Homo-oligomer: A and B are copies of this chain.
Amino acid sequence: MYLGGSISEYSFGNIQTEGDNVRRLCSFFAVMALALVLVGCAATKAPLASDPLTIASQGSFFVGGRNVKSNDLAMVGFFPPTGTITVDQIYVHYQVPVAAQRKPLVLVHGCCLSGKTWESTPDGRMGWDEFFVRRGFPTYVVDQASRGRSAADTSAIVQVKSGRAGSDKLPDVFGAGQESAWQIFRFGPEYPKVFPGMQFPLEAQAEFWKQMVPDWSRALPTPNPTVPALSELARKLNGAVLVSHSQSGIYPFEAASIDQRSIAGIVSIEPGACPKASDDMSIYKGMPILVLWGDYVDQHERWAGRLKACREFASVANRAGAKAEVVVLNDVGLPGASHMLMQDKHSLKIGAWLADWLDRHIAK
């Protein structure tokens, strides 16, 4: 299990403790206790959020990145304008459950959002990052390149502000307004109308809007540097299931085209695009692929078209030997899902359904 360093080997051995015997005794109790928990919980699937969470390890690291020499890092002040920065890396936060036997999940957020997408929901319930750890999956939550804790290069802004370049050199960065996101995330047909039965926790929408961050993806080269970084991460993990959402929906497929062997499976949640039916499908041979959709898709022209295109992709991919499924949650007894289904009121029911799907389809 790759942990971005030597965490698992590190111990506090250098720190003088009050007594090594006490330490050994503690370790003995801890192991005994853990054995008790594993024995006691082996037969049950749904842990309580109010139960303590025991994990084998946690931490964060970066994957990818390249050095850029810039003369436009700053205008005035503490730091000089010239120097080297590192960009294009992705920030990864992970948690590994005790005695993990399932393939790791890599959770990738969509447009105008960060890895926060997968953490606590706006109304304060458990996020999928923790849910899947409790279900036995190591989880790796990333911030896409130039988003969140993954650095962007702001040199062009300094360059234009200081008059050394024209405004056309500015990055094509953008934000999503709440009113337009409302419709695109299918909370309703248009702001502030709500689809009947829609399950996003709108009473906590103010907390949700705080999740939205500027999106630099249009200012980045193609493929987005997130893609090779995801491929590298999957390889370091000795195989992973890439779980993407919306704008990142296509990334697991693009990562598979770099190195299909490291992709243990693909879960693409409401992707902005599936691979074209004319693409090379041989790379998906034998690969478990789930394209997952929420509700009200047929009431949004653009999403309806995307669902249709994904069905075509799955059909063509399966003829080439893939194991692709397109699932609309309504059809498995989970109606009312918005585009942000990992945060909907029934997000953990959806998560439980997905965990079962993974157990049925992904080799351990």
Mask, A34-49, CB within 8 Å of B = 1, is: 1011011101111111
Residues of B within 8 A of A150 (CB): 213
Q: How many copies does the complex hold?
A: 2
A232 interfacial by beta-carbon distance below 8 Å:
no
Q: Is there an interface contact between A74 and B175, defined as CB atoms closer than 8 Å?
A: yes
B40, B149, B212: the one within 8 Å of A116 (CB): B149
Residues of B within 8 A of A27 (CB): 48, 51
A-B complex: 4 closest residue pairs judged by Cβ atoms: A5-B124, A83-B177, A29-B40, A74-B174
Q: Is there an interface contact between A116 and B60, defined as CB atoms closer than 8 Å?
A: yes
Q: Which of A125-133, A286-294, A324-332 contacts B (4 or more CB under 8 A)?
A: A125-133
A238 interfacial by beta-carbon distance below 8 Å:
no
* Docked CA distance A62–B30 (Å): 34
Residues of B within 8 A of A152 (CB): 213-214
A77 interfacial by beta-carbon distance below 8 Å:
yes
Identify the closest chain B residue to A35 (Cβ): B33
Q: Which of A153-161, A252-260, A274-282, A309-317 contacts B (4 or more CB under 8 A)?
A: A153-161
A143 interfacial by beta-carbon distance below 8 Å:
yes
Question: Distance in Å from the Cβ of A101 to the closest Cβ of chain B?
Answer: 15
Residues of B within 8 A of A222 (CB): none
A176 interfacial by beta-carbon distance below 8 Å:
yes
6 new A-B contacts, CB < 8 A, other than A12-B46, A59-B130, A154-B174, are A15-B349, A17-B46, A36-B36, A85-B178, A161-B172, A163-B167
* Docked CA distance A201–B254 (Å): 35
Given contacts A167-B167, A173-B154, contact A29 B37 (CB under 8 A): yes
* Docked CA distance A33–B184 (Å): 47
Question: Distance in Å from the Cβ of A183 to the closest Cβ of chain B?
Answer: 10
Mask, A67-95, CB within 8 Å of B = 1, is: 10010011101111011111001010100
Mask, A1-18, CB within 8 Å of B = 1, is: 001111111111011011
